Structure formats: structure tokens, C-alpha cells
A and B are shown apart, each in its own frame.
Chain A
């Protein structure tokens, strides 16, 4: 597939937005300015960007505990995201959800999720609703390699295929389930081998190559939209930071050499080199883009820091759609 230079810039921009947001979040966490857990998406930007670049605004995605990248790629607003990470009332979830539950249903982003594997059954429900309405919307379930070992994933994949739903299962195989390497937790190398067992097609793509991811996503999303049922994409990728937080916490679960090799394949820098090589862009273009988006991040941090915390009277708000719950 040949993608226009506008599409290439679009995919690039999504990746840079993720990178800048995540690195800013990492710095704030190191400065103890963010409460709670933080699972950074740095290194995996090509996956969310390549897939969400193939979606319409009214398509749905479910996400994982490493969910900021998915929301950014679906069009998330920096200000509201940063405010949520700080637990402020102006955040996406008004300070009720934080990093692990960040969401924007108006963008079809049905939430990051603190429970590994729990997003996939919800994506199946969204896909069911989309088929029910018959307006050609699709759903994408993002999930990690580790979550394919949990029962919810199996139930979701099987049900999606049994009901022939418009859904794409997008696996981010970053080779580690938290701190444990994939080869200790499953006896297969490629997650996509599981797709055939459910009766859906699956492909492996280089998850550090946004064009490769995007090509596979366009094909799978189009299949779903045309009534061709579910498919799986396994993107081989890598998280540059730790399972949570920024530093390695002294935990030696992967070697410096391994991290260095993957960082050489940085999805953004390799893509920029390619765009320059192909005459699509110049270094100056990229300098401008980074500068513009850095300014957006600075604005977002300022917005979040200036925003008020929710007041204690908000604790009981939004437990129910109307306040009829018991105390």
C-alpha cells in the first residue's frame, strides 16, 4: 500500500504526541508529582498510531493498563490527560480514574483497564453493538502478549468469532508480562498462532514500523467493516521503560544490551529517517513538529498544575447514573 505524505505525517504526529506525553509523565513521576502507578508506552508508539490511524472517530477501542498511548492515538486531549494523571478535577475522569482508567467515550476510547485481559470482552460488546446498529463501525481490542494467557481473552476471541463480529484483536507483544519474559509463560513464540484456534486470520507485523502496522490494520479494519469478521494482528514491539515507572528500580529482568538493541529500532526516529530518505519530509519539518507538540505538552502541564483537585463532596458523585445508591 502507498500512503500519502499527509497520512505519513499523520502517523508520525500521533507517535510524537505519545512520546512527548509519556516522557513528560515520566519526568513528573520522577519528581513525585504524579500519584499512583504509571505504565509508559514509550517504544510501542507505532502500534497504537498505526492501528488508530486506520480508524474513524466513531470506531471503538479498548485498552490496557498501558493505555495513554491508545488515548493519544485516538485523539486524546493533552490537557485533560495530564490533569487526570495528576488527579485533578479537570481531568478526563475528574480525578476518579487516573492513569489506569483514562478514557474518552466520545472518542470511542472505552478506557484503559487495570485488569489484564479485561478489555477484550468489552471490545466484543462494542463490536456486537456496532454490528447490531449496522452502521459499519468496528471495535479494536488492544492487549499485550501476557493477557492472551488469561481466560477472559480466550472467551472474548472465541465469542467474537462465533458471533462473527466486526473486531480487530491488536496484540502488542513486548516480550514481557510485567517482569517475566514471554518464553517463561507460554510455549509458543508467536501469539498469532492462537488466532487460527478461534477461526480468525492473523498476521505478524514489525511493531516498530508504523507503516507495517498501519497496512495490516487497514486490511483488518476493512475486513471487519465489510462483514468479514474478526482478525488478529500481532505487533512485535518493546517497551523502552519499565513495566511501571521510569527507572529500572534495580530490577535486572532484562539486559542493557537487549534494551539498547531495541532502542536502535526506535519507531519514531527510524520512520523520520525513512520519510527524509523518501523525500517526503525534511529534518526541519520534524524540528517544527516536535517544537509545536512540546509547547502543547508544556501547556498541558501548566493546565494540570493550575487545575483544582476534586473536593471531597465528589466522592459519592457518579457511583450511579442517578444518586440512588445506598450509603
Chain B
């Protein structure tokens, strides 16, 4: 076993699913094109060959029924992984996600357990236009009963996906499409990263950047550039957005006194707004500047690369946000 073995983000997801399916016969996968085809992003590649059609199930293009399959199978004792190809398709299945999966336990007075994972792929940057590029995590984080996970790298992907599968609550694992090919060392053994625990990607003293999924990687690039200007950034990746590791974020804000939150979703009503609000409630007296939010403009995701490249936040826009916050006296 070598600790420097590298896997892509997609392979890390696949290995997590495969190892959990080996460990627990109640785990199965269902979704569109995930069987022989291995999923449109290749994240389920080889699983049907390994575990058979009974446990890796090709479904009709029926998002409500796919999530309903997960709800009904989990509440009767299995541990489903149901895939919704593109995150935008959660809208098609929203009743089953929001009114059923998230609420059954509560409405039944606790007499239900739903150990199901909904997997999907979010984010832009592929000229996939407005119905295949969205970052809708804020909609899910607003729903009591759901957990929401967005890994930023292969190591976190494997550990978080294993935790999602083991989790006894309905959990949404959001893969970022632009990170699927990202390669990094991933341990061979099965390991979990606790849901609700964030990660300090880069310690620093001058300013905190809170960023998740692809934006965490953009923040790393921005931090390198800013270091050359003498600005020492601390980067916090919450990894799980619901529940959110508010303590980690607030502690960092108290230390650096300045915070920028970066999200790929539209700025208005996003996770950045929630995080900024938590910081001002819990660390107001420590702040030397208003918490700044970096996010997309309030429009659907545009198609043309000429537009989309300006639409999605990147290292440049994060660096600018940091400089603006640092300029406040």
C-alpha cells in the first residue's frame, strides 16, 4: 500500500462506492446510464461488472421515481445510492427530495430511518448552459432533514462519500464536473471524513477565505498570488455545507478579522450569505471589515465560453475580493 498512489476525483468516488458495496450487501446503486455505461461522467465505471445488475441498476429517465426508489428502499432497510446525473435535475425530483426524503423521519415521529445518498454533478465551466451547469446547493441546505456535501479534491471525495454511504440520514453528494479529472494521492484503504467537519486547507493570518468545491481550488491559486503581495490567506473548506462547520469558520474569522466567502452559485441568497450572517452574529466585534461575498451574477448560467468565463468566479475575482477587504481600515 503506497500513500502516494494517485486517483482522480471521479476514481475516488468510484472506489468509495466499490469499497462500501463490498463491505455492506445492503448498499446498491440506481440511476440513469450507470450500469454497463458506467455513468455519463464515468463515475460508476465497472461497478455493474463487479457487482451485477441486481446491485447496480439502470433506471428509466425518471428522477422522481429514482429518488422515490431510494426513499422506499431506505425506509424498508436498504442503503441506496441513487444518482441524478446533473444537479439541475434535482428540480425534477424535488418533491421526493424535499417533501419525502427530508421529512419522513420527522413526520413519523422518528419511526423511520433513511440511510440514502443522492449523488449528482453540479457546477459550470463546460458550456453546458443554464440547465446543466447550476450550483443549487443553497436550495438543499435550506431543507431540514438533508445533509449536503461538496468535496473539493480526490482525498476528500473518497472520505466524504464513504461517510455519506454510512450516514443514516438522506445525504446529497454533489460532485463538481470540472474536478472529475483532478488527480491527487488517495489512500487505498477505506476511510471516512466526518460530515460537518471543515478543513483548513491553508493556514494564514491576514484574511480568511471560505470556499468549497471548485472555488476552494481557485482560492488556493488566489492565495499564492496574494502571498507574493504579502497577504497571508487562511483557506477554510467546509466540505459539508449542511451541517456547516460554523465553529471552524468563526474561529478563523476571530483570528484573521477579515473574511471573504467564495461560491460558484449566484451570490444572492447563497451559502455565502448564510456564512456571512453567522460570522457577524458570532464574531462581530472581531471584524475589521464587512464579510465579502464572491459569487456569480444573478442570471442563469450562459452558454458561450465568452460569457461563461466571465460569469463563473475564479482565482482572479477571489483575489480582488481579498484585496478589497484588506483595503478596509
Interface positions of A (Cβ within 8 A of B): 60, 62, 91-97, 101, 103-106, 110-111, 113-115, 118, 120-130, 132-133, 139, 151-152, 155-156, 158-159, 162-163, 317-322, 324-326
Q: Considering the chains assembled together, what is the distance between the CA atoms of A129 and B107 in angstroms? A: 22
Query: Which of these, A93, A129, A152, A162, contacts B73 with CB under 8 Å?
Result: A129
Q: Is the CB of B168 within 8 A of A321?
A: yes
Q: Which chain B residues border A127 with CB–CB below 8 Å?
A: 72
Q: Is the CB of B108 within 8 A of A125?
A: no
Q: Is the CB of B109 within 8 A of A93?
A: yes
Q: Considering the chains assembled together, what is the distance between the CA atoms of A103 and B112 in angstroms? A: 10
Among A110, A126, A127, chain B packs the most CB atoms within 10 A around the CB of: A126
Q: Considering the chains assembled together, what is the distance between the CA atoms of A322 and B150 in angstroms? A: 21
User: If A105-B108, A132-B54 touch, does A118 touch B96 (CB 8 Å cutoff)?
Assistant: yes
Q: Considering the chains assembled together, what is the distance between the CA atoms of A122 and B100 in angstroms? A: 9
The stretch of B6-14, B59-67, B302-310 that contacts the partner chain: B59-67
Q: Considering the chains assembled together, what is the distance between the CA atoms of A126 and B65 in angstroms? A: 12
Which range contains the number of B residues in contact with the other chain?
Answer: 35 or more
Q: Considering the chains assembled together, what is the distance between the CA atoms of A159 and B61 in angstroms? A: 9
Q: Which chain B residue shows the least CB distance to A323?
A: B243
Q: Which chain A residue shows the least CB distance to B243?
A: A326
Q: Is the CB of A325 within 8 A of B62?
A: no
Query: Which of these, B30, B63, B80, B95, contacts A115 with CB under 8 Å?
Result: B95
Q: Considering the chains assembled together, what is the distance between the CA atoms of A62 and B108 in angstroms? A: 13
Q: Considering the chains assembled together, what is the distance between the CA atoms of A139 and B71 in angstroms? A: 14
Q: Tell me the minimal C-beta distance from B107 to chain A in angstroms.
A: 4
Q: Considering the chains assembled together, what is the distance between the CA atoms of A129 and B25 in angstroms? A: 12
Q: Is the CB of A318 within 8 A of B104?
A: no
* Additional A-B contact list (8), CB under 8 Å, known A94-B110, A318-B106: A105-B108, A110-B76, A113-B100, A120-B68, A121-B68, A121-B96, A155-B64, A156-B68
Q: Tell me the minimal C-beta distance from A108 to chain B in angstroms.
A: 8
Q: Which chain B residues border A97 with CB–CB below 8 Å?
A: 107-109
User: If A122-B75, A132-B73 touch, does A318 touch B68 (CB 8 Å cutoff)?
Assistant: no
Q: Is the CB of B145 within 8 A of A111?
A: no
Q: Tell me the minimal C-beta distance from B295 to chain A in angstroms.
A: 20
Q: Is the CB of B72 within 8 A of A106?
A: no
User: If A122-B100, A152-B95 touch, does A159 touch B75 (CB 8 Å cutoff)?
Assistant: no
Q: Is the CB of B168 within 8 A of A322?
A: yes
Q: Which chain B residues border A319 with CB–CB below 8 Å?
A: 105-106, 144-145
Q: Considering the chains assembled together, what is the distance between the CA atoms of A158 and B113 in angstroms? A: 26
Q: Which chain B residue shows the least CB distance to A128?
A: B73
> Which chain B residues (143-193) contact chain A, with CB distance < 8 Å?
144-145, 147, 168-169
> Which chain B residues (98-143) contact chain A, with CB distance < 8 Å?
99-100, 104-113
Q: Which chain A residue shows the least CB distance to B70?
A: A125
User: If A103-B111, A105-B111 touch, does A125 touch B72 (CB 8 Å cutoff)?
Assistant: yes
Q: Is the CB of A321 within 8 A of B69?
A: no
Q: Which chain B residues border A104 with CB–CB below 8 Å?
A: 111
Query: Could you give 19 example pairs across A and B, Cβ below 8 Å?
Result: A96-B106, A105-B75, A110-B72, A110-B76, A118-B68, A118-B95, A121-B65, A125-B75, A127-B72, A128-B69, A128-B72, A129-B72, A132-B28, A152-B96, A155-B68, A156-B64, A159-B65, A319-B145, A326-B242
Q: Is the CB of B100 within 8 A of A118?
A: yes
Q: Which chain B residues border A158 with CB–CB below 8 Å?
A: 60, 62, 65
Q: Which chain B residues border A60 with CB–CB below 8 Å?
A: 72, 76
Q: Is the CB of B64 within 8 A of A129?
A: no
Query: Which of these, A111, A128, A326, contacts B244 with CB under 8 Å?
Result: A326
Q: Which chain A residues border B108 with CB–CB below 8 Å?
A: 92-93, 96-97, 101, 103, 105, 111
Determine if B326 is an interface residue (Cβ-Cβ < 8 Å).
no
Q: Considering the chains assembled together, what is the distance between the CA atoms of A321 and B133 in angstroms? A: 32
Q: Is the CB of A155 within 8 A of B60?
A: yes
> Which chain B residues (52-90) contact chain A, with CB distance < 8 Å?
54, 57, 59-60, 62-78, 80
Q: Considering the chains assembled together, what is the distance between the CA atoms of A110 and B75 in angstroms? A: 8
> Which chain B residues (239-253) contact chain A, with CB distance < 8 Å?
242-244, 246
User: If A93-B109, A118-B95 touch, does A320 touch B169 (CB 8 Å cutoff)?
Assistant: yes
Q: Tell me the minimal C-beta distance from B27 to chain A in angstroms.
A: 11
Q: Considering the chains assembled together, what is the distance between the CA atoms of A114 and B104 in angstroms? A: 11
The 10 closest A-B pairs by CB, nearest first: A125-B72, A121-B68, A94-B109, A93-B109, A155-B65, A155-B62, A101-B107, A318-B110, A122-B72, A97-B107
Determine if B34 is an interface residue (Cβ-Cβ < 8 Å).
no
Q: Considering the chains assembled together, what is the distance between the CA atoms of A118 and B65 in angstroms? A: 9
Q: Which chain A residues border B59 with CB–CB below 8 Å?
A: 159, 162-163
Determine if B262 is an interface residue (Cβ-Cβ < 8 Å).
no
Q: Which chain B residue shows the least CB distance to A62?
A: B72
Q: Considering the chains assembled together, what is the distance between the CA atoms of A158 and B107 in angstroms? A: 28
Q: Which chain A residues border B76 with CB–CB below 8 Å?
A: 60, 105, 110, 125-126, 129-130
Q: Tell me the minimal C-beta distance from B157 to chain A in angstroms.
A: 21
Q: Which chain B residues border A151 with CB–CB below 8 Å?
A: 64
Q: Which chain B residues border A106 with CB–CB below 8 Å?
A: 111
Query: Which of these, A96, A122, A130, contacts B71 with CB under 8 Å?
Result: A122
Q: Is the CB of A125 within 8 A of B68?
A: yes
Q: Which chain A residue shows the least CB distance to B196?
A: A324
Q: Which chain B residues border A126 with CB–CB below 8 Å?
A: 72-73, 75-76
Q: Which chain B residues border A113 with CB–CB below 8 Å?
A: 100
Q: Which chain A residues border B80 with CB–CB below 8 Å?
A: 125
Q: Considering the chains assembled together, what is the distance between the CA atoms of A104 and B297 in angstroms? A: 47
Q: Is the CB of B73 within 8 A of A121?
A: no
Q: Is the CB of A321 within 8 A of B113?
A: yes
